[in-house]
Structure 1
Amino acid sequence: MKAVKYFVVIFFSIFCTAICAQNVNIGAEITAALENNTYLSKLNYPKSVFRFYTDNYSGYHWTDSRQRQEQSKIALLLLTKADHYGLSLSDYHLEALSLEKLEQWADFPSEKNQKERTLFDILLTDGLITFINDLHFGKYNPLYQKTQIDTSRINGFCADEILSTARMHTDFQGAILKAQPSLKAYSDLQTYLDRSHTANDRIVSQTEMGKIIINMERLRWINTQSAYYIMVNIPSYTLELHQGDEMFGFKIVVGKSTTKTPVLESEISYFSTAPDWRVPQSIFRKEMLPEMMKDRSYLADHNYSIYDGSGNKVTVNASKLRQINNSPNNYSVRQSSGQDNALGAVVFRFENPYAVYLHDTAQKQFFDREKRALSHGCVRVENADRLAAMLLAYDGSEYKVSELENAILSYEKRDFVLSEPVPIIITYLTCLIENGKLILYTDIYQFDRSLEGKFNQNR
């Protein structure tokens, strides 16, 4: 009996030694490949791939028959459907990857194809990491270069960690697809595009397909992941307040083509009633000063006051007006609150480098126009008082709504600070899905052409 036990112990020891030796060899094969410039030159994200193998044992991950062959098939099939997500099939090494090749390693492969197997495993890893990054950041993100994404964690996101976590997940595909934006506009476009690819009769033209792809790309550049946010879309002249599954729409006026409203992300931390308007210097010099020179009553008629460089109010007479005209940069203009104030009754403040904001307006008639690119860059909101009341209610301050209404009616200056800032996204989407239909908008700033050119070049 002791002899049998001794034999079993010896056999198990030899078996484990053989397996460990094989694992060392497998690890050495992958490690050597990841130190080889010939392999590295084929990869989109070499540092991420290296981290993936280093952090998860540097052996085969997709071609080992003992490790989730079904998951490997799902991974390959996901890459072959990259176009369903507005991405190019040519970016994920599919010329070197196939289910047929994967099935070669259903049993332990012989030594003669170890190099081919190693390359397959690494290319599939890089293809998946590339796919995850493209889903999350887009291909042409103006904020982050590929080398930066490969090197560092950005806003807590790291594609190789997403892939490692997905491999442990029962829903492998679902875990990867969570890398996509959670914005409703994005999910609507992706669902529509997927339906178009799977339908027997294609439901969109090639031109419409191109519009969907570039606008999904733009939505991937947005960092906001909250279910509560404001989205301003310039081409559709609309503002949407999203509160979970609910959405409330508002008409807006945006910047003219010569004074474009900028694309940005920020947070609204407070809003003010009865605001003064500090006139931008460019508007003062180019538009107001000529009017002042023609008619001195222009200032009083519009409730404007002029201040010197020290912030002192200036009394304007003929002599002073000539000085101002000669040195306009030494002066500034403010418009006091009131019925004619350019900012209207309420203004929403948020940090941004462009000095733009959302605000009410005295020129309500502009909201009746179909084309509303009319401002100097700020966004004018129809029913701004209603938007302010909704922000207060969602912030748990519904009791302040009556105070807001009274302040607006009496032109009383009040700041309403939100306990939780509201993410605001100002974006540029030339197509959206409305009631299940694709709606195209005029490319008012001519931004589409350059992005379409990049995608067309990559096909």
Structure 2
Amino acid sequence: MKAFLTFTIILCFTLITQAQDLKTTNEITSLLKDNVTLSKLHYPQSVIRFYAGNNYEYAWITAEKSDQSETAMLLLEYSYRFGLSLSDYHWDAISLQKLRKLRGTSVEENQREKAEFDILMTDALITFINNMHLGKYNPLYKSSYIDSNDINGFRSDDILLNARQQTDFLKTILKVQPKIKEYTDFQSYLNTLYEEDDCIAPQRESEKIIINMERLRWIDTNDTSYILVNIPSYTLKLYHRDDVFDFKVIIGKPTTKTPVLRSSINYFTTAPDWKVPQSIFVKEMLPKILKSPQYLENHHYSVYDKNGSQVEISSSKLKEIRQNPYRYSVRQSSGCDNALGAVVFRFENSYGIYLHDTSQKQLFNKDERALSHGCIRVENAKELAALMLKNDDSANRIPVLENAMSEYKRKDFVLKQPVPIIITYLTCLIMDGKPVLYKDIYHLDDSLENMFNQNK
């Protein structure tokens, strides 16, 4: 009889619990079908996927994993430590105090309010994860696209579901941040700053740090070997595992900007000839040729027609070229005065730019080096090429490279492992533990600063 009573009590308790779980499931499911609720969410599809993976149960309100829930809430509260804004994470509707209050009520109380809170907190965390990994104002991916697609295997709802299963919830979330050194330098600086006195850097510095952390979130790379060109600092860094090699560069003038992009260098060529871009030929070179036809010979240029045949220059031909310049093109043969120097590094891009040596090495003595038509000229190009061969396990080819460059022999050097190249625009970097600001050459900071300031 006693055993029967015990069984009856357990059965009743189980049925009550199941009924409560069913009510929870019904509340979550109902709200995720409600357009008013969905309109409040930044990533509604991601939130729906998250709860589908969580059996449409509360993720944060229950006493189970309460430490994890409080850690998640504190992470949002301290979002400013990551250069992000609390106002992006439903802080008008959720808070640690409210979480504790709702969790302290009986299971059957305030079911709808709890469901609404739980959903908003999930959306806040998903938004935080997306902002940490991809940035808030990513020019490549709008929030609606991120919500519906995975980005190179990344999905914030999957990250959040996985984090809930880990013993170190916080570490799993923070791992979504960029691994690129410039970003980790910023984050380490902010961490040190807040740990010391819980106050931020001077406003100008903090604004620069925030927008440049945002830019670095747009770069998708987990590579340990890559080239990073930073336009405002006129620098190129070659990263290979734990080694860093620094080079000066010349970048595009404000009227012919060097674009921000990501690609890979598959090969480089010694003693290249230079096919002059049509805009340079027509706007800059043709007037010089018409003024002095000797200009072509003096600079080792040849003119070609649209069929690729070389053209003999005469007064009548010059008149024809002046009348129909777009039917002709110009190439410069390899040599010591070639605009590309002794080596050019090729990478796919839609802008037609490349990284190359230069015959005008004296220009690297200038502090401000926005001087090109968009391509990137690198100082000590031979050293860069040799390092790329060495890192590609092809050090035995370095003497061949040096000989080809010194004697201007054309030769292609194909890399077994392509080297990622990232061209970015960072107006602030951490140097020796302190922020260093660079001139905003292309005036790109203002619009990004305004976006962040509007949402402080």
Aligned to 2:338: 341
CA deviations 1:375-401 (Å, max 9, x no partner) are 010000000111111111111111111
Aligned to 1:75: 72
**1:267 aligns with one of 264, 267, 292:** 264
- Equivalent residues, number: 456
With normalisation by structure 2, the TM-score equals 0.97
**2:45 aligns with one of 28, 40, 47:** 47
2:342, 2:405 within 8 Å by CA — same for their partners in 1?
A: yes
Letter in structure 1 aligned against 2:44: P
Aligned to 1:393: 390
Which has the higher mean CA deviation after the structures are superposed, 198-207 or 268-277? 198-207
SS at match of 1:444: coil
Matching of residue 168 in structure 1 with residue 175 in structure 2? no
Shift of 1:244: 2.0
Distance 2:104 2:141 in 1: 42
Query: Superposition pairs for residues 214-363 of structure 1, below 5 Å?
Result: 214-363=211-360
Aligned to 1:443: 440
Aligned to 1:26: 24
Query: Superposition pairs for residues 94-109 of structure 1, below 5 Å?
Result: 94-107=91-104, 109=106
Unmatched tracts of structure 2, length 5 or more: none
Aligned to 2:415: 418
Which has the higher mean CA deviation after the structures are superposed, 127-136 or 34-43? 34-43
Shift of 1:87: 0.6
2:20, 2:107 within 8 Å by CA — same for their partners in 1?
A: no
SS at match of 2:436: strand
CA deviations 1:115-165 (Å, max 9, x no partner) are 221111111101100000001111111111110011111111100000001
Distance 2:15 2:400 in 1: 78
Aligned to 1:408: 405
SS at match of 1:344: coil
Which has the higher mean CA deviation after the structures are superposed, 186-195 or 300-309? 186-195
Tell me the percent identity: 55
Aligned to 2:116: 119
Shift of 1:311: 0.5
SS at match of 2:454: helix
Letter in structure 2 aligned against 1:435: D
User: What's the RMSD between the two structures over aligned residues?
Assistant: 1.4
**1:131 aligns with one of 120, 128, 153:** 128
Distance 1:451 1:102 in 2: 34
SS at match of 2:413: strand
2:200, 2:206 within 8 Å by CA — same for their partners in 1?
A: no
Distance 1:379 1:79 in 2: 41
1:64, 1:108 within 8 Å by CA — same for their partners in 2?
A: no
Distance 2:421 2:327 in 1: 34
1:193, 1:212 within 8 Å by CA — same for their partners in 2?
A: no
CA deviations 1:85-113 (Å, max 9, x no partner) are 11111000122222222222445625342
SS at match of 2:62: coil
Distance 1:272 1:449 in 2: 39
Which has the higher mean CA deviation after the structures are superposed, 106-115 or 78-87? 106-115
Matching of residue 178 in structure 1 with residue 178 in structure 2? no
Shift of 1:245: 2.2
Matching of residue 59 in structure 1 with residue 57 in structure 2? yes
CA deviations 1:315-367 (Å, max 9, x no partner) are 11111111111111001111010000000011000000000010000000000
